[in-house]
Amino acid sequence: MSRFNPELLPASFVPFASSSAFTKKERTLIPEKEKSENVVYLHSIPSLFDELKITDGMTLSFHHHLRNGDYVFNMVMEEIKRRNLKNIHLAPSAIFPNNQGLSELIENSNVTNITTNYLNGPVAETIGQGKMQGLLIMDTHGGRARAIESGDLKIDVAILSTPAVDHLGNGNGIEGPSACGSLGYAISDLKYAKKVVLVTDYVIDSLKRVDFPNEYVDYVVKLDKIGDPKGIVSGTTKITKDPIGLKIARNTVKLLDELGFIKEGLSMQTGAGGTSLAVAQYVKEKMQEKQIKGSFASGGITGYIVDMLKEGLFEKLYDVQCFDLQAVKSIKTNPSHIPMSASVYANPFDPKVIVDKLDFVILGATEIDTNFNVNVTTDSKGLIIGGSGGHSDTAFGAKVTIITSSLIKSRLPIIKDKVTIITTPGEDVDILVTERGIAINPKRTDLLQKLTNSKLKIVPIEKLLETSHKITGEPNRIELKNKVIGLVRYRDGAIIDLLYQYK
Amino acid sequence: MKIGIAGTLESNDTMITVKESDSLIIKVKSIVDEFFHDSIVKTIEDTLKELNISKIKVICEDKGALDYTIKARLITAIQRMEKSL
Amino acid sequence: MRRSLLFIPGNNPAMLQNADCFESDAVIIDLEDAVHVNEKDNARNLVHCYLESLTEVPMEIVIRINAPDTPYYEDDLEQVVSEKIDAIMLPKASPASCFLIDQVLTIIENDKKMNKKIGIIPIIETATGVLQMGEIAKMPRINGILLGAEDLSVDMEVERTKKGTEIWYPRAKLAYTCKALKIDAIDTPFTDTSDNEGLKEDALKAKELGLNAKAAIHPNQIDIINQVFSPSEKQIIWAKRILKATEEAQAKNLGVFSLDGKMVDKPIIERAQKIIKMAQKYRLD
């Protein structure tokens, strides 16, 4: 099954075997960090560097809950540059276009290794051109939690933007001018980093709720602003108006209904993109029509899902990140809107893991191949444009995994013989819905059986590929033969693919 | 100088500029060059053959147009060039 | 028997590419109003090359050409008429223009040795056109008529409204004219693409008067139009019962019989057959 020569793997990395291989393994847990005696309050990033004696070669981690409005990551990069620190290993849960200053640090070997779950923008270009000395490791959201708790990713200092902090060093994400809601991606960092720093712009006497208990906190840095609220709550798009996207969404819900998934107690997760939101909307209408209530919706939460909770269509929401202001407000005030850590969300070794309870998940793809392997990490040229996020995690856990996509984007068919990079293995991907037909993974004979009398256009994936080639012509195949610049690490720690220099 | 231009730089379209020339010159720049460059050149060559044109300069700026769009824009550009006498 | 026809601008490659995905019964590829005067040549060539490239044609293809009082219509017809299309839509139609297009089509069909006979769908968009509707409907090749209320209301110097009182008369006349000649009565498009409730009301008004189809100017309108103009589940069940009862009656050599206390005679049976035919064509049962 291996797409690459396992001998290319650095020592201590093992190749991917299967998505359920972890079930035969024991959970590895390093001890939680030392409880802190007291919390020290500082007022600048430079003073933090002095206090902690941050030096060459350290591993610094961050969460990305302030998204494209975050200031803290860039301020820390500035300080690394100012001190000309070298060989820093960064472990942010995501890297966005507004982190472009990082490119210079990579080129000058201030930063030589990065472990992250999502990478997009100028930094992806820099790394894709082979300019980073060390390796890029891309985890899934659940996999990052596993990596931290097992010691695979050892963090020296976790630098955590925290919208509100009290005088005892407790923190939460729901209060203050930079409120971002759930802080799910930071919890493993909080518990297992050697030192934990909360960076805030809002210190108050008492917090409405504690997301970061002070026993884990060593330092609080109080700044004037930790982020731009407009950029923080910028995660949602609107429901697509594109007729093709709407057709795909409609057919997805028809399909779900025919498969019997729109029933009392259903649980679901959808993405935040335009087509996914349309799916959520049609699911909502179907649920209202049938007068049923779902058990939960999970994942990154948008205002659309919050509305479904408010209208009594779900018992609970499990929230690992808030995409917009509506979600932030809801998680603050509605006890049924429950924050969850990345580990509880998606760590394969977490006994409470939510993804395993999902009935269905609606996901995207940049590429899918005839074995239903999915790429959400790179585009077809091999440039990194994203990363698994929760893709591989939810695909494993959900009873049915549906990929929605138009068949062709700018003359490029989304279906390939082989994906450029594997993010999520085909064994976990069940259905592809496009505007020109629906393909079901042949392994799912149970689904195929339920659809024998369906009026939906269900065709083998090879036929959809053929159809797309009839329209676009057959594209040249690109072989990425260049230098290995990173690893795609599956949620259980095994390496499912290599990342290559694309230019 | 006789010039013909047809098409736009919108997604899925192609902008073709044709000029009189002593030889056959075809220049293609596409957002999907890695995948379809040769195919686009061939479409242009085949269309020129159909029209019995062997000496012309064709500049194609492509935004992911399908073959029939490239062919159509090329034909229009040539017709416009010939009209601009 | 069409329900929905979607206008697609002829010079827009992105939309042409998806023409077969929008789920309307027919697409009207537009060389007229959707195309700027300076781009008529471009649009024509694009549609020609698009049609040439088609191997399977899953829906009906109608081409709205420029009217015969323009310099474009001859080239339009020359470039688009082929086995791949089904009908020509003729703007501001009159009996004379219909006659002319019929003649030109005959010549082109012979030249190209075509097996197919291309239909004509005239657009009634002037007061004169409304008065001439009967005559127009009898011209050769006509298999449907479209009401063009936007231009018609300009000609009539009345306000075009969602309520539609100003077009009640032409709609009604269209319904009777087309029913008498067994051709499609196609309602004018609903121009507010963000108002789905309004679209549904408008389509129902047309249906009530006896029109059987509606043109769409945006793909998001098609679902609603198809729903309104499809036989309902109730009607399909009724039709099946009628046909079953008819079979049973014939087996017993009964001429006329009744179902649910109502007499079932030939017109009723034909209506039931038409409903079943529609249900099968649009896979509704």
| Domain range list for chain A | 36-232, 243-478
Chain B residue closest to C41 (CA)?
B76
pLDDT digits (tens, 9 = 90+) for A186-236: 999 999 999 999 999 999 999 999 999 999 999 999 999 999 988 877 666
What is the reported pTM? 0.94
Tokens linked to B14:
């192609």
Sign of CA dihedral A140, A194, A322, A335: positive
The H or E element spanning position C277 is helix C266-281
- Can you tell me which residue has the tokens 């991917």? A16
* pLDDT value, residue A2: 62
Give the whole-number percent of chain B exceeding pLDDT 70: 99
Report, as an integer, the average pLDDT of A109-125. 97
- Name the interface residues of A facing B (CB cutoff 8 Å): 380-381, 410-412, 471-473, 475-476, 478
Mutate to test the interface with B, among A367, A410, A412, A470 (most CBs of B within 10 A): A410
Per the CB < 8 A criterion, the answer to whether A240 and A274 are in contact is: yes
pLDDT given for residue A485 in this prediction: 96
> What is residue C58's predicted lDDT score, i.e. its pLDDT?
82
Interface test with B, best of C31, C42, C47 (most B CBs within 10 A): C42
CB contact under 8 A, A250 and C223: yes
- For chain B, how long is the longest CA-to-CA vector? 37
Closest chain C CA to residue A471? C17
Q: What is the ipTM of this complex?
A: 0.97
**Which chain C residues are Cβ-neighbours of B50 within 8 angstroms?**
none
Contacts of C42 in chain B (CB under 8 A): 6-7, 72-73, 76
CA neighbor of B44 nearest in space, from B33, B56, B31, B32: B56
Helices (H) and strands (E) in chain C, counts: 12, 10
What kind and span of H or E run contains A447? helix A445-450
Beta-sheet strand order (sheet of A164-166):
A171-172, A164-166, A203-204
- pLDDT tens-digit profile of A253-274? 999 999 999 999 999 999 888 8
Q: Which residues of chain B does A476 touch, with a Cβ-Cβ cutoff of 8 Å?
A: 34-38
Q: Which domains, ranges and CATH numbers included, belong to chain B?
A: 3-83 (3.30.230.10)
Could you tell me which residues of chain C have a Cβ less than 8 Å from any Cβ in chain B?
13-14, 17, 41-42, 45-46, 48-50, 52-53
The per-residue pLDDT for B35 is: 96
CATH topology of domain A243-478: Glutaconate Coenzyme A-transferase (3.40.1080)
User: Is the Cβ–Cβ distance between A374 and A172 less than 8 Å?
Assistant: no
pLDDT in tens, B23-45: 999 999 999 999 999 999 999 99
* pLDDT band of A4, cuts 50, 70, 90: confident
Q: Tokens 């039709």 map to which residue?
A: C239
**pLDDT tens across A296-312, in order?**
999 999 999 999 999 99
In CATH, the number for domain A36-232 is 3.40.1080.10
Residues of chain C falling short of pLDDT 70: none
Is A381 close to B34, i.e. CB distance below 8 A? yes
DSSP state letter for B7: -
Do domains A36-232 and A243-478 share one topology? The answer is yes
Tell whether the torsion through CA atoms of A305, A309, A315 and A318 is positive or negative: positive
User: What DSSP character marks residue A83?
Assistant: H
C253 to chain A, minimum CA–CA distance in Å?
A: 37
DSSP state of A55: -
In the beta sheet, which residues pair with residue C185?
Answer: C145
Q: What pLDDT, on the 0 to 100 scale, is given for residue C56? A: 85
| Closest chain B CA to residue C47 | B72
Strand partners, C184: C144
| Whole-number Å distance between alpha carbons of A367 and A376 | 7
Question: Which residues of A fall within a CB distance of 8 Å from C21?
Answer: 244, 247, 435-436
How far are the Cα atoms of A279, C57, C102, C119 from residue C141, in angstroms, in the given order? 43, 21, 7, 5
